[in-house]
């Protein structure tokens, strides 16, 4: 299912999926995909962003990233 989802979104090659949290079954399913890295939004860094061709970011992850960046202004 995860591979089909990425293919339907035209996400191929080295990519990263960013979420606020991952359930254990999501970690297993996504972790088995070649060239796909999973990352919690709270642990995201510039190197990981720049080191991937494409990123898929959940709405919850965007909220987490916004909260983290507010304190750095």
| The token pair that represents 53 in the structure block | 């061709």
Residue 71 scores a pLDDT above 80: no
Mean pLDDT of the chain: 90
Measured CA to CA, the distance from residue 41 to residue 19 in angstroms comes to 6
Which residues, other chains included, contact 16 with Cβ-Cβ below 8 Å and sequence gap of 6+? 36, 37, 38, 39, 48, 49, 52, 54, 55, 56
- For 37-64, the pLDDT digits (tens) are 999 999 999 999 999 999 999 999 999 9
């Amino acid at each position: 299912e995860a591979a089909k989802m990425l293919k339907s979104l035209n996400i191929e090659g080295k990519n990263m999926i960013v979420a606020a949290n991952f359930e254990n079954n999501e970690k297993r399913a996504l972790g088995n995909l070649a060239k796909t890295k999973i990352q919690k939004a709270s642990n995201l860094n510039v190197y990981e962003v720049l080191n991937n061709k494409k990123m898929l970011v959940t709405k919850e992850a965007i909220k987490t990233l916004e909260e983290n960046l507010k304190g750095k202004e």
